[in-house]
Structure 1
C-alpha cells in the first residue's frame, strides 16, 4: 500500500499507508485535495483555486478560505511527515506532487484505457487483462455521493470528469464484449454486456446484443426473458416502446431462426485507439491550466470547456432527440425536452 491512497471512482475513499481512513475537517478541504490530485499535471494559482471553490466570495475572502482549507487538507493527509511531501506549495501556486508515494485509482484507470495501450505492441492477452483490470477499478460514477460544497464551478468539473470516465468504461466494455464474442466465449461476453446495461439500462442496442448472444449460447429462454426486461427498462427509463429491430430480433429468437450475422462488424483495437473523446480529454491541460490566471479568467475557461464538452456530447444529443421524437404527445415535460434539444 502506498503512503497515500485515493479512490475516486464510486464513493470517495482515502487511506494512509497503515490503513488509517482519512478524516477531513471540512468538505472544501476534501474537495481541494481531490481537485489537486486529479489535475496534477501543473501548478494551480491560488487565485484560480479560490475562484473554483468559493466563486461567490470576494477574492480576499476566498483566498483566506483557501489557506484554511489547505491547512486542513495537509493535516488530514499528514503532509508534514511525508517524504517527499504530497503537495508542492509556494506563495503563488499549489500542486499535487506526482513524485510522492501515492496510489490514485483514476491514474490506473486512465493508463489501462489510454489510446497508447491499444497502439502498443503488447500481446492480445495483455491488452484484455489491462482492460479487465480497468473495468474492475470502476466501482461507480466519479465521486458518487460527494457532498455539495456550494460551488457550481466545482460541480461542473465533477460532471465533466464523471462523463469522461463513464464513456471510457463503456468503450472498454464494448471492446471486451466484441473480443469475447469473436472468440466464441459467449459467457464472458454476456457478463460484460450485463455490466454495460447496469450502467445504461436505457441502451436498447445493448439489450439487443444480449438477446442475440444468449441465443447464440443456446440460452433461448434467457434471450426471450431479456426482451421483456428490455421492454420494461425502456418504458421505465424513457417511456417508449422497443424499436422495430428489437421486435424483429425477438420474433427471430422465438421462432427458432438463427441470429448469427456474418456481416456484423466487430470493433478492433484500431477502432478503440481513436476513441473520439480521448483526443479531447488528452488536451484537458489546455482547459485547466491554472498556474498564471485570475479567478475571472478561470471562470471563462470553465465556460469554454462547457461549450467544447457540449460539442463532444453531440452524439448523445442526437440519440436524445431520437428518443424525444418517440415520446407520446402528452408525455410529461415533452415540450421542455424538445426545447432543450433544439438548435
Structure 2
C-alpha cells in the first residue's frame, strides 16, 4: 500500500497516516505545535514566536522547558508513525535550526490547502469563461468545508486563519448561488443560501434570495418565515433594522410581484 498522510483542520483536527488516525498526543501542546507549523508553509519559526503563539499568557524565556517538551513529544508522535525511504513518499518531519523550528511537509493532503486550491481554480476557470468547470470546482470546495477551521481552538493565530477561510467560503457560496440562479436550480440556490446563513446569521442578501426563491415557487408562508427570521435576528442580536431593500422585497414578494430574476447578485 502506498504511504499517505492526510490532515484535517476543518472541524476537529485529525492526523491520519496510512489510514490510521493518530489518537494519542503525549502533550497537549505537541498537537498545537504541529497545527501552528502547518500554517507556516515550511518557514522557519523562531522559538520566541512559537512560545508566544502557544503560551500567549506566559513570558518567553530561553530557559523555559515547555517548548522543548512539546517539540520532543511531537517528534515521538511523528517517529512512531514511521518514515518511508522513498524520496517521493509523503513526509512530515520537524526540523531544528539555530533559531527555531520548521516543518518539512511533502506530498501530504491538507484539507484547508485543498479548499483554497479548489477555490482559486474556480476563480481562474470563471475568469476564462469556463463556467461549468468553475462551478464544479466551487462545489467541491464547498463540500470540503465541513465545519470551521479548528473548531474549539481559541488562539489568535487560529482565529485569524478561521476568519480568512470563512471569507473564502462566502465567496464560493456567492458564486454558487448566482450560477444556480442562472440555471434555474432553485433547490440548489436554497441549499447554498442556508449555508451562507449558517456561516453569517445576519447575511441579508442570503435571506432576500431565499424569499425570492420561495416567492417564485408560490410558497408565501416560507417567504414570511425567512423574513421574520432575518428581522428577528437583526433586532434581537445586534439591535439593527433590516435594510430598506429587504423590506421592499418582502412586501413585493407577498403581493406576488416578484420573479427569481429580480434577485440582486450576491
Shorter-chain TM band: 0.7 to 0.9
Give the 3-state SS of the residue equivalent to 2:16 in structure 1.
strand
8 Å contact kept, 1:87–1:94: no
* 1:172-193 CA distance string (max 9 Å, x none): 0001001100111121111100
Distance 2:48 2:60 in 1: 11
Q: 1:76 deviation in Å? A: 2.1
1:3 aligns with 2:1: no
Q: 1:43 deviation in Å? A: 2.4
Distance 1:91 1:79 in 2: 22
8 Å contact kept, 2:16–2:22: yes
* 1:264-317 CA distance string (max 9 Å, x none): 6647xxxxxxxxxxxxxxxxxxxxxxxxxxxxxxxxxxxxxxxxxxxxxxxxxx
8 Å contact kept, 1:74–1:80: no
Give the 3-state SS of the residue equivalent to 1:141 in structure 2.
coil
Instruction: Name 2:14's counterpart in structure 1.
Output: 13
Instruction: Name 1:119's counterpart in structure 2.
Output: 124
Give the 3-state SS of the residue equivalent to 2:20 in structure 1.
coil
Q: 1:82 deviation in Å? A: 1.5
Q: 1:257 deviation in Å? A: 1.3
From 97, 105, 109, the equivalent of 1:98 is: 105
8 Å contact kept, 1:141–1:166: yes
Q: Where does structure 1 lack aligned partners over 5 or more consecutive residues?
A: 149-154, 268-343
Q: 1:60 deviation in Å? A: 1.6
Instruction: Name 2:63's counterpart in structure 1.
Output: 61
Aligned length: 256
Q: 1:145 deviation in Å? A: 0.9
8 Å contact kept, 2:173–2:196: yes
Distance 1:31 1:9 in 2: 15
Q: Where does structure 2 lack aligned partners over 5 or more consecutive residues?
A: none
8 Å contact kept, 1:223–1:253: yes
Q: For residues 244 and 104 of structure 1, do their structure 2 counterparts lie closer, same or farther at Cα, with a shift above 3 Å needed?
A: same
Instruction: Name 1:242's counterpart in structure 2.
Output: 242
Instruction: Name 1:171's counterpart in structure 2.
Output: 171
Q: 1:2 deviation in Å? A: 5.8
Give the 3-state SS of the residue equivalent to 1:81 in structure 2.
coil
> Pairwise CA RMSD of aligned residues?
2.5
8 Å contact kept, 1:2–1:102: no
Q: For residues 79 and 38 of structure 1, do their structure 2 counterparts lie closer, same or farther at Cα, with a shift above 3 Å needed?
A: farther
Give the 3-state SS of the residue equivalent to 2:63 in structure 1.
helix
**Higher RCO, Cα 8 Å, sep 6+:** 1
Give the 3-state SS of the residue equivalent to 2:21 in structure 1.
coil
Q: 1:136 deviation in Å? A: 1.3
Q: 1:48 deviation in Å? A: 2.9
Q: For residues 138 and 80 of structure 1, do their structure 2 counterparts lie closer, same or farther at Cα, with a shift above 3 Å needed?
A: closer
- Structure with greater strand percent: 2
Normalization by structure 1: what TM-score?
0.67
Distance 1:162 1:20 in 2: 23
* 1:18-39 CA distance string (max 9 Å, x none): 3233321222111100011121
Please list, as runs of the form range in 1=range in 2, the aligned pairs for 1:1-343 lying within 5 A after superposition. Answer: 3-55=4-56, 56-62=58-64, 64-78=65-79, 81-83=82-84, 85-92=91-98, 93-99=100-106, 101-114=107-120, 117-120=122-125, 121=128, 123-146=130-153, 155-261=155-261, 266=265
Q: 1:226 deviation in Å? A: 1.5
Give the 3-state SS of the residue equivalent to 1:61 in structure 2.
coil
Q: For residues 117 and 94 of structure 1, do their structure 2 counterparts lie closer, same or farther at Cα, with a shift above 3 Å needed?
A: farther
